[in-house]
Amino acid sequence: MSDFLLQLGQNPQARRLIKALGLPVPIPQTLRRARGPWEERPLADKVIVVGGMGAGRMAAPVAKMLAESGAEPIVIGDALDAFRAPGEAFGRPARAAQLGELPEGKFDGVVFDASELAEPAALRALYEHFHAVTPRLAAGGRAVVIGRAAATAKTPEAAATRRALEGFVRSLAKEVGKRGATAQLLIVDDGAEARGAEVLRFVLSPRAAFITGQPIHVTGEVTGKAPPTRVRALEKKVALVTGAARGIGEATAHLLSAEGAHVVCLDRPEDDALVSKVARDIGGSVLLVDITDPHAPKKIADELRAAHGGVDVVVHNAGVTRDKTIGNMTAEQWEQAVDINLGAVVRITSALLAGVLRDGGRIVCLSSVAGIAGNVGQTNYAASKSGLIGYVEKLAPALAPRGITVNAIAPGFIETRLTAAIPMMIREAGRRLSALGQGGLPQDVAEAISFLAQPASVGITGSVLRVCGGALIGA
């Protein structure tokens, strides 16, 4: 189902007319998305204003990441030294500037390191940075604050200051969303700064176009390190994607394959034709299984072991809705949603953890914003999607010593057949009630899954990443 307002907004004359007439029509900004797999310099020529880096430990990894990604940093304050060597090595010399004398033009990104702030009055520096730079943030730009976890603060004052960053970023996301711009908070643990820079690269890139208003926790918990290259990062890896026949699963299979993985595309036997086409298009394999079949876990494990010697990436994407208010819901509707979306995921994961999922592996479960916020008529669906969050949180520490991460992704309103079937008024509300004022595409969710499948995301585990355009419901 096409988005009329988004199409209208692509016509500059229509945009001008609506503005001139002062019509109260919220025209969303067309999002800039990546095409093709990760490239060598994903931030090529992006002008990124960096501040607050003086005393913190983030300066060196951020400077290196920006230089090797092809960005053009403008450094506010006294951190220029950290940017000098990487700038020279990659031919990307950083420029120094003051907030009162910013260079001409628009900025593609604005980053502020607030990780050393320890008392409420110090938050003033955050205000000053974004007050000066945000009005110049380009359409589709990126704002990122870097902080530390409130839970590990030494004093209540420091905890308050750290937690304040979250409210700041969530509000900023709502302010800049109409420009198609996003805002995130990276909460980076002590010692995980290099991993934080890897996540920063992702959120600054066009691959995170539909992620906004997110606190993202980066830890040193999981064994392993990011590889020197992010290009074809899944070369020689085997990935299983359930529900790969269409929608988000199909988009994910394509992206994982483009990053070099051999993708095993799983769907129900009745979707043979569709899923076989996806597998053919990407040179992957087909696995026809109903995941609720009691033999499914063994069948999947046996197949992955026999044909591929194991698996590296598991994407639990297959899912269904069986919406009814609780009084009208049949036991079968309850059973189907909870078993397909949650029960089967738990059973299959257990089978794969018994010697099929290799060390350094990745597990990604498709949760939903409904699992965070709840929804009328979705007690079964929301229970299952919320259950997945509890599952990844508990599983993550147990798998960390093996270098395995396990995360959930919570999509908001994504344009697929699921959402095309929603009544028109509710569909419009789903699209518009978000910071970016539009629905996401399957590609947006697939990009997040693909990032969580790559070695560069080793710092994220036990987390829920919302891909929801800053949905006004949910946390």
Q: Is 417 in the site for ligand NAD (CB under 6 A)?
A: yes
Find the shortest distance in angstroms from Cβ 284 to ligand NAD. 15
Site for ligand NAD in 214-273 (CB under 6 A): 242-243, 245-249, 267-268, 271
Q: Which CB atom, from 273 or from 306, has the smaller least distance to ligand NAD?
A: 273
Binding residue count for ligand NAD, defined by CB under 6 A: 27
Contacts for 255 with CB less than 8 Å, ≥ 6 apart: 37, 443, 446, 447, 449, 450
Find the shortest distance in angstroms from Cβ 353 to ligand NAD. 20
Q: Which CB atom, from 317 or from 457, has the smaller least distance to ligand NAD?
A: 317
Out of 285, 317, 407, 461, name the contact with ligand NAD by CB under 6 A. 317
Asked if 249 and 318 touch (Cβ cutoff 8 Å), the reply is yes
Q: What is the radius of gyration, based on Cα positions, of the chain?
A: 22
Q: Which CB atom, from 150 or from 433, has the smaller least distance to ligand NAD?
A: 433
Out of 63, 173, 216, 340, name the contact with ligand NAD by CB under 6 A. 340
Here's the x/- map for ligand NAD, 385-414, by CB under 6 A: it reads as: --------------------------x-xx
> Catalytic residues, which ones?
381
Q: Which CB atom, from 80 or from 248, has the smaller least distance to ligand NAD?
A: 248
Distance between CA 8 and CA 17 in Å, rounded? 11
HEC sequence for 392-440 = HHHHHHHHHHHCCEEEEEEECCECCHHHHCCCHHHHHHHHHCECCCCCE
Segment holding 196, helix H or strand E: helix 193-204
Q: Which of 149, 147, 144 is nearest to 130 (CA)?
A: 144
Residue in this structure with the two tokens 């499914």, named with its chain if needed: 296
Find the shortest distance in angstroms from Cβ 205 to ligand NAD. 22
CA distances from 85 to 61, 68, 88, 241 (A): 12, 11, 5, 42
Site for ligand NAD in 267-296 (CB under 6 A): 267-268, 271, 290-292
Contacts for 116 with CB less than 8 Å, ≥ 6 apart: 52, 55, 56
Q: Is 126 in the site for ligand NAD (CB under 6 A)?
A: no
Q: Which of 404, 391, 471, 395 is nearest to 439 (CA)?
A: 471
Q: Which CB atom, from 194 or from 248, has the smaller least distance to ligand NAD?
A: 248
Q: Which of 122, 160, 146 is nearest to 59 (CA)?
A: 146
Q: Which CB atom, from 111 or from 296, has the smaller least distance to ligand NAD?
A: 296
Q: Which of 295, 377, 386 is nearest to 338 (CA)?
A: 386
Find the shortest distance in angstroms from Cβ 337 to ligand NAD. 9
Q: Is 83 in the site for ligand NAD (CB under 6 A)?
A: no
Binding site for ligand NAD (CB under 6 A): 242-243, 245-249, 267-268, 271, 290-292, 317-320, 340, 366, 368, 411, 413-414, 416-419
